[in-house]
Amino acid sequence: MAAIGGAAFAAAAVANPAIGTWQLNVSKSTFTPGPAPKSETRTYSQSGPSITLVIKRVGADGNEMTSQATYQLDGKDYPWTGDPSFDSLSVKQVDSNTVKFTQKKAGKVVSTGSRTVSKDGKTLTLKSKGTTAKGEKSENVGVFDKQ
């Protein structure tokens, strides 16, 4: 009986659909105020309840940047490194394919948004609203293709 119960529990723990590598589809994405990056690759990996996100971006100016965080889906703040626009990230699960996130700089919210993986698992859509380091309002929709 315990073996059957364990199997049912394992089946109920659906794998996180964001895990893997995603490439920004610049032509399907919008960045306001812009400009859009030349490229961005997001790699999500998981160990137990912890998820590590590494972002490698080539900006419109050609400069490369790598940033990352290891976090859990519990809504608590976790350190973010490599991106001067924010220094912490909190993420909360909404449903099996969607999370909501908040980015902060020195304790102040600079951006909020959501990340949704399509039902077929091939597209990740990242929507965010916030304020840039220059104080400009920003609203971005990044569409990523699974690699």
Residue 14 has pLDDT above 70, yes or no: no
* Domains along the chain with CATH numbers: 2-146 (2.40.128.20)
Residue 9 has pLDDT above 90, yes or no: no
- Which amino acid is present at 78? Y
- At residue 19, the pLDDT reads 97
- At residue 135, the pLDDT reads 85
Residue 10 has pLDDT above 50, yes or no: no
Tens-digit pLDDT profile for residues 45-63 = 999 999 999 999 999 999 9
Closest CA to 42 of 61, 63, 68, 16: 68
The band of 134, judged by pLDDT with boundaries at 50, 70 and 90, is confident
Tens-digit pLDDT profile for residues 73-95 = 999 999 999 999 899 999 999 99
Residue 58: enclosing H or E segment and its boundaries?
strand 50-58
Question: What residues pair up with 78 in beta bridges, in sequence order?
Answer: 89
